[in-house]
Amino acid sequence: MEKPFASRDWTLYSLVCLALVLIVLTMYQIDRQWLKLSEMQAALAEQAQAMRELRSLAGSGALAAQTPNAQPASIAPAFQRAYVASKMPDYAQGDWSVEAFGTNLKTITPLVSTDAYASNVQSYVQESLISRNPDTLAWEGLIAKSWTVSDDGLTISFDLRDDVTFSDGQPLTADDVVFSFNFIMTEAIQAPRERAYLQKIQSVKAEGKYRVVFTYKEPYFEALSLAGGMNIMPKHFYEPYLKEPQKFNESKGLLLGSGPYKLADPKSWTPDQGNVELVRNERYWGDVQPTYNRILWKIIQNDSARLTTYRNGDIDSYSARASEYKQLQNDARFRPRARASNTCRRWSVIATLAGTRCAPASRPVLPTNACARR
């Protein structure tokens, strides 16, 4: 006859279970601390690099012209609107911008991705030579400080700024512009749409470190837009994939650029993470620094759930359907946000009731190659 469990046995069994639970919790906590420590080490490494660059600039005397109280005249035209907004009394940096996508993203790798959501993410990370002023629609220099067009319209020469760096600290030069064109035109790279447009260009050549020349096969009425609107891909980051093009074509999150935001790890994003999160590029070269600490896109596929999330204040903007727009406009809780949104001119015709990308008061916009800078 088996001896039934005594109270001492139950106590011992409970202690063993408790010990196992504590071990699991301890392992989980150590893992979280390790990840946090890794992030802190990466941030400290970036800060140390930035300090070294500042010391180098100070030693060369190049820092003298960069005063904290720079006047608007010293701000590049592409950043003028953001500069004015950053001087408003209620402006403050920090916080998160939280938005929502209506479908899962398969990849955010440039060229490979084909949906508008991925392009939206990329517009915060990668930049082009020039950008459009959202008010006047005129082209303004971004990475390029100036450009000239030949009399026959076949040659466009861009002079680049010499202070632009990618988010990993590497300088952006004419070689990166030439590489971006050649990378797209490589048949093994899965970029048929981009190649179809760029086939009008005969060649892209660097003339020195900060001058690049685009030559067209024939006159083209959108020549400036085509050349100046091409996103610049860092050669040192993407060049290895020319030896393994299929690895690039099948990648999910290879994203690095010179923009105001970046992936915490430019190679680590995968669709199973669900959300997409960008962090501030602390090395951003622009005349106005990015506003948010982070930008987060949640994946909320159900329209009603997305609206409920917006009503609860868990996302900052919502693309209203026609049947919802008037109703939300008449809702007293959303009127201030609706009025703020209506002051922003968007390329999209979708109604946006709380456009965090354009907020005229406490959230200024930085110019991007999409519509406006964040």
Return the closest-CA partner of residue 92 out of 227, 370, 289, 323: 289
Q: How many CB atoms within 10 Å of residue 93?
A: 14
**Between 286 and 27, whose confidence is greater?**
286
pLDDT band at 237 (very low <50, low <70, confident <90, very high): very high
Return the closest-CA partner of residue 281 out of 235, 241, 234, 318: 234
341 near 354, Cβ under 8 Å?
yes
Q: Tell me the whole-structure pTM to 2 decimals.
A: 0.74
Q: d(Cα 372, Cα 167) in Å, to the nearest integer?
A: 20
pLDDT of residue 355: 31
127 near 142, Cβ under 8 Å?
yes
Return the closest-CA partner of residue 355 out of 369, 368, 374: 374
What's the whole-number mean pLDDT along residues 160-180?
A: 97
Planar angle of CA 159, 163, 166, nearest 5 degrees: 105
pLDDT of residue 22: 86
Q: d(Cα 283, Cα 328) in Å, to the nearest integer?
A: 39
Q: How many residues does the chain have?
A: 374
Q: d(Cα 364, Cα 360) in Å, to the nearest integer?
A: 6
pLDDT of residue 153: 94
pLDDT band at 3 (very low <50, low <70, confident <90, very high): low
What's the whole-number mean pLDDT along residues 179-187?
A: 97
pLDDT of residue 16: 83
316 near 334, Cβ under 8 Å?
no
pLDDT of residue 165: 97
Q: d(Cα 168, Cα 200) in Å, to the nearest integer?
A: 32
3-state secondary structure string across the chain: CCCCCCHHHHHHHHHHHHHHHHHHHHHHHHHHHHHHHHHHHHHHHHHHHHHHHHHHHHHHCCCCCCCCCCCHHHCCHHHHHHHHHHCCCCCCCCCEEEEEECCCCCCCCCCCCCCHHHHHHHHHHCCCCEEECCCCCCEEECCEEEEEECCCCCEEEEEECCCCECCCCCECCHHHHHHHHHHHHCCCCCCHHHHHHHCCEEEEEECCCCEEEEEECCCCCCHHHHHHCCCCCCHHHHHHHHCCHHHHHCCCCCCCCCCCEECCCCCCCCHHHCCEEEEECCCCCCCCCCCCCEEEEEECCCHHHHHHHHHCCCCCCCEECHHHHHHHHCCCCCHHHHHHHHCCCCCCCCEECCCCCCCCCCCCCCCCCCCCCC
pLDDT band at 362 (very low <50, low <70, confident <90, very high): very low
Q: Which residue has the tokens 């001058």?
A: 211
Q: How many CB atoms within 10 Å of residue 28?
A: 10
Asked if the model's pLDDT at residue 213 lies above 90, the reply is yes
Q: d(Cα 283, Cα 146) in Å, to the nearest integer?
A: 23
Residue 278 identity (one-letter amino acid): L
pLDDT of residue 251: 95
- Give, to the nearest 10 degrees, the angle between helix 322-329 and helix 335-342: 120
pLDDT tens digit sequence for 84-101: 988 899 888 888 999 999
363 near 356, Cβ under 8 Å?
yes
